[in-house]
Structure 1
Amino acid sequence: MLALIAGQGALPRAVADACPERPLICALEPHMPEGLAVDRSFRIETLGSFLHWLRKRGVTRICMVGRVARPEIRLTQLDWRTVLMLPAFRRALKRGDDGALRIVIGLLEGAGFEVVGAHEAAPDLLPPSGVLTQVQPGAADIGAARLGDQVSREQGARDFGQACVIRDGAVLAREDEAGTDAMIDSLEAAAGGVLYKAEKPGQDHRADLPVVGPRTAEGAVRAGLSGIVLSAGGVMTVDRPAMIEALDAAGLFLWVRERDA
């Protein structure tokens, strides 16, 4: 049986809807998913007891999906099962996002669960490679994509965001903890710019795989961008038909490509 530990955003519902059988929906308080009834919520201080409850329910696989801010741990409220995890918690608090996620995955695996990525639970959310819109990228867009590969490696090494906007060989904006859509919304007119988004190099695909959707496409249109570049196999799309329709109507491209080595 599969359990989703669902965070915020539209992705948890998209994954749940795409599963052949309804998963158990769980949420780390206070991050509740949109449009999904939660079977059980839990606090980080009760993680050990929560995992024990999952095992008793017959859960064997866990998928972490959706946005979750790094929680504050109140040591005085740890239950006894979670106290045993305290050394791992302390290591996680000292790491960047990727390192912390790897520790959390190790805790779940150590408790006997198989951790699967959202793209494994719902593989249709990964778009096929190629240009998915009517408009094709031009020479300047191809150059922007190659620069995006370099920027992605740099941002990944510094544990920064997974997206940027590039125009005329320069980086106009970089994603921070506010997310891709907020980055786009903060732009002034960026005619001809390209939104580039990819997973961090070396990232564990079982957690925090990036995602875009119709809101991202609408933001790109408002910002006057020429198109969107996604890494093949590394970025999921929510409501892809609506996203493509919005881009086609505005004359933007959506290009899913393999990153340069």
Structure 2
Amino acid sequence: MRAQFKKRPDKVSATGLIAGGGSLPLQFLKGAAEKKEKVITFGIAGETGNTIKKTAEEYVEVNLTALSSIIKECKARGVKQVLFLGYVRHTNLFKNIKFDLKSLSIIAGLKGFTAVQIMGGIIKQFEKDGIKVLPSTHLMENSLAGKGNISLKKPDKKQMADIQFGYKTARTIAAMDAGQTVVIKKGGIIALEAQEGTDNCIKRGGGIAGPGFVVVKTARPNQDMRYDVPVMGLKTLKAIKALNGAGIAVEAGKTFILEPEKVKLYAKNNGLFIYGA
């Protein structure tokens, strides 16, 4: 592994960003720069985008399944706290994976191979090695969805009924670590997210439901805010618009909104509602 960009003096303590895919890590880096927080970015091979690589003050590419190397890189740079942001495609967790010995010892001790169990094991190992894992919301509180109407357009009574039903349904599947998203129409469950991700769930459900469907996305009950916090952004809204959906409800205080101003403008221009449940 080779560090790029500026290198920090050993005596300076920095926050380590374990960055997956998507724009959420970039949103964090911009916020950290504004608040002058020192950050070293550890990008997950095959997931982290080029924009993040170019934006990071110091960048180190790592393999998520080589946990010993990641912890070694953190310690070598004086990193005493890290946070996880960005996605790791679930399909990559099941394809031709080579674990190092430390990762294998974690996997061997797990009761299952879900995202919750894997990340729980990884976090436990970081903290065992003296590296604190911060909530994903660190410096990101302003990016969380608020309560109530987020967009100018408001859901009507029937849509609110779908939101309430969808919220309970989404929380149920989230508790099973199956997914976080449901597609609802007229009180009926049209689609439940599994491993395909939110946008593909919307495409599948919207294609079945037809115009006017409602999307609901929630966190797990007792969500650990250190990893896999729900996210929505322009891509999600565009998937809803493409199939003439009515809008989306997300869990307030536990869902990140990517580029919130752009999201609100898109919703306004396309007649979609965004609601914090």
Matches within 5 A, 1:5-154: 5-19=18-32, 20=35, 21-37=37-53, 39-44=59-64, 46-68=66-88, 69=90, 70=93, 73-74=97-98, 78=100, 83-84=101-102, 86-92=104-110, 94-154=112-172
Q: Which residue of 2 aligns with 1:162?
A: 180
> 1:36 aligns to what SS in structure 2?
helix
Is the contact between residue 232 and residue 257 of structure 2 (CA under 8 Å) also seen in structure 1? Answer: yes
Is the contact between residue 127 and residue 233 of structure 1 (CA under 8 Å) also seen in structure 2? Answer: yes
Deviation at 1:234, TM superposition (A): 1.2
Q: Which amino acid is 1:74 matched to?
A: K
Deviation at 1:156, TM superposition (A): 2.1
Q: Which residue of 2 aligns with 1:212?
A: 232
The separation in 1 between residues aligned to 2:133 and 2:122, in whole angstroms, is 10
Q: Which amino acid is 1:26 matched to?
A: F
Deviations 1:13-58 (A, max 9, x none): 1121122235211123232235111611122453213312212212
The separation in 2 between residues aligned to 1:154 and 1:32, in whole angstroms, is 31
Q: Which amino acid is 1:46 matched to?
A: A
Identify unmatched segments of 5+ residues in structure 1. Answer: none
The separation in 2 between residues aligned to 1:228 and 1:50, in whole angstroms, is 37
> 1:173 aligns to what SS in structure 2?
strand
The separation in 1 between residues aligned to 2:135 and 2:275, in whole angstroms, is 23
> 1:195 aligns to what SS in structure 2?
strand
> 2:174 aligns to what SS in structure 1?
helix
Matches within 5 A, 1:182-197: 182-186=200-204, 187-188=206-207, 190-197=210-217
The separation in 2 between residues aligned to 1:50 and 1:133, in whole angstroms, is 40
The separation in 1 between residues aligned to 2:73 and 2:117, in whole angstroms, is 26
Deviation at 1:139, TM superposition (A): 0.9
The separation in 1 between residues aligned to 2:169 and 2:112, in whole angstroms, is 25
> 1:249 aligns to what SS in structure 2?
helix
Residues 154 and 58 of structure 1, relative CA distance in 2, 3 Å threshold: same
Q: Which amino acid is 2:19 matched to?
A: A
Is the contact between residue 15 and residue 118 of structure 1 (CA under 8 Å) also seen in structure 2? Answer: no
TM-score of the aligned structures, taking structure 2 as reference length: 0.83
Deviation at 1:255, TM superposition (A): 0.8
Percent identity between the two aligned chains? 24
Is the contact between residue 6 and residue 33 of structure 1 (CA under 8 Å) also seen in structure 2? Answer: no
The separation in 1 between residues aligned to 2:242 and 2:103, in whole angstroms, is 46
Is the contact between residue 152 and residue 201 of structure 1 (CA under 8 Å) also seen in structure 2? Answer: no
The runs of at least 4 aligned residues of structure 1 exceeding 6 Å deviation read none
Match of 2:252 among 224, 232, 235: 232
Deviation at 1:206, TM superposition (A): 0.7
Is the contact between residue 127 and residue 256 of structure 1 (CA under 8 Å) also seen in structure 2? Answer: yes
Q: Aligned pair count? A: 251
> 2:241 aligns to what SS in structure 1?
helix
Q: Which residue of 2 aligns with 1:179?
A: 197
Residues 84 and 35 of structure 1, relative CA distance in 2, 3 Å threshold: closer
RMSD between aligned residues:
2.0
The separation in 2 between residues aligned to 1:190 and 1:85, in whole angstroms, is 45
The separation in 2 between residues aligned to 1:85 and 1:212, in whole angstroms, is 30
> 2:226 aligns to what SS in structure 1?
coil
Residues 34 and 224 of structure 1, relative CA distance in 2, 3 Å threshold: farther
